[in-house]
Structure 1
Amino acid sequence: MIYLDYAATAPLSDVARTAWLEATQVRGNASAIHSAGRASRSILEDAREKIAGLLGVDSAEVIFTSGGTEADNLAIAGPATKGRVLYSAIEHPAVREAAEIAAKAGSRAGAIPVTPDGVVDLGALREMLDESVGVVSVMAANNETGIIQSLEEIKEVVTERAPNARLHTDAVQAIGSVTIPGGFAISISGHKLGAPVGIGALIASRDYPLVPLEGGGGQERKVRSGTINVAGAVALAAALEDASEHRAERAEFQTSFSNQIVEASGALDGYVSGGDVPRLPHMTHVIFPGTDPEALLLGLDMAGIACSTGSACSAGVYRPSAVLEAMGVEEDTYTALRFSTGEYTTQSDIDALVAALPGAVSMARKAARA
């Protein structure tokens, strides 16, 4: 199987696996006060310090979670008690639904429009801001299209119009590829970086308003109760360090892969969503007009290629992407495919995809006309 779905979950990396295995040899609950507990606490805090150093924050700002979804929910729930929640129209469901939950509890929430290029409409954002806003959440890069947001510009607008509002970014797809400016609470997830599933973090300043999502022992600044996943935290730190150290070289070959995918898709009348805007190097999002989504995915799967649509599939029914709808894509029949590469992707993988695309697209167009 040729795996081109790193954006869904990356294979466990050698670096993260080694770090995880070494950490599992340390006995003890990190909350215990005996020597075994202190040993576990020591490697946990080393991991926290490493992540903090890589992101340029204080270690006390690193709160370990089960992943990006929990981090997003924590980031929205606290500030929502202080005022309105604004989030971009292309946010991950973890942010959108957290805002909707807050709205049901009495906080007002609103979606910030995006342009056809898939970037936040700064004019619309400016009009939505006032002193009643408690938090503005805009993802660093979209999880479907890979389009990168200008967080610095967003920060300037929010600071000018709503100086008391908190800023949050879901950086699950972007971390390791994009530098996040200061002043943002940041959600990250280990399994997008090659760490195991089940570990993530929220990076939030000491004065960022947080409320626990559930009761318990009060671990992680008393907002994330439960026995801490020490080995997962160590693996997350190792994976983030590895991504940071190899960022430039990986971006170079991933950009080359992306360019080849775009060229091959263009020969089949496929086009990149959003036009010519900055994107993550490891993600390529292509729209193929006049194709049946299930047939196209099946055709590629038959060729041994794993990718994704990046949109919801439920009960065997393909549903148009909410992200593309927010961008104004109105094609009646199309398939949007997300190809995402990573550390272990090779040129031969891309060659195989390029070879398989014409047959799969042809089959999908015949299915759409049937």
Structure 2
Amino acid sequence: MNLIKEEWRFFLENKNKVYQCFYTIALITVVYTYFFKRYMVDDTYVELTLFSLLLSLVTFIWHLYLHKWSRESLFAVVAVGICLILLPSDFYLIDFAPDFSLLSFFLLSVSVDPKQSNLVTIIFYAKILLAIGILLFYISGKIPDVTLYRPAKHLVRHSYGFMHPNSLSMFIVSLFYDFSLMRKKVVPLSELLWLIVLGLLVFSITDSRTGLLIFAVILLTSLFKKQLLAYKISGKFVFQSIVTVFVLGTLLSYFYQPKSSVFDFLNSIFSGRLRNAHAYIKAYGFKFLPRRVPDLHYANGARIFNENYYVDSLMRQGILVYLLFPIMIGLQTLKKRFTLYHFILILSAFLIAMIEDYGVSLGICTILLFNYFAVPEETSHSTEEIQGLK
């Protein structure tokens, strides 16, 4: 009995630290669940997804107990409820990792403790352990090296156990994000040089232009991190910029013209995503409520992949569910401030989503924890503001 009392007293005295530990476990579970979809069969993956969502829900309820209700938490309940009612369960349990990530975002983004200074560092090392495990399984022959050949370059792309070259690139991009976020204001030149070597090595293996572009953005923001942290911009401008990407991500594909030299150039920049997304829009259009969207195929029978998050999610989720995401982002950004450094990384994540859906996945881009990376209120007026972004 005394032992129980002592443990309860310890919990009460350290309730915030205990909560932070539990939150970290829940977020790591989201990261692993998002990535394990590439390896697990349906039944096993469903169990893992349910477990992850349950952990996120418990974390959310625990946060309510500690901090009471807010507009964000109230909307999170409404958003999750709408998703569970309207979305087919296999959307977020089996078929579409972005839908699972959306539910996780609603529950965990409002539950994060901004005072947990070591969160990103722990997530980074958890991803490192995941990478080590995958590579060990690959070396032992339990996971294949999926290779793709690009005739134009006479190049063989490798996955080295990550199931697809783009998945390997995605994972390294995720590590780059977290590494940059967890470093101090000044990133040593030696570390930047190692990052350049690693980034070029991964590009030579995967030939992922998206990964190379985002790597360059992260590298530049890391190089000038100290200077970029000195400037604060309003959450209103951050939200407007994100919404602009949402709109562009849809309209560029909607108005795509195959005979236009401008659209042809843009389509090449976005790795053919505009043309593919346009084909789906032309075939199925948009609806208000969720629905299943059958795959399209080329004349030779090969599947046309629609990897534009904005078009794919809007078509499948319907307008009602789709709008829940930007509304939640607005609730978490409009009345806050962000440094220019964090704004660039946030915007880059949403730009990725025009090409690869992982850009808006909490399991890949930790930068989506807006409440965590926002400038604390007591310091939001301590440095310069960028003129015109107030």
State the TM-score, normalizing by the size of structure 2: 0.24
Q: Give the number of the structure whose residues are more often helix, by fraction.
A: 2
Q: Give the number of the structure whose residues are more often strand, by fraction.
A: 1
State the TM-score, normalizing by the size of structure 1: 0.25
Task: Name the structure, 1 or 2, with higher relative contact order (CA <8 Å, separation 6+).
Answer: 1
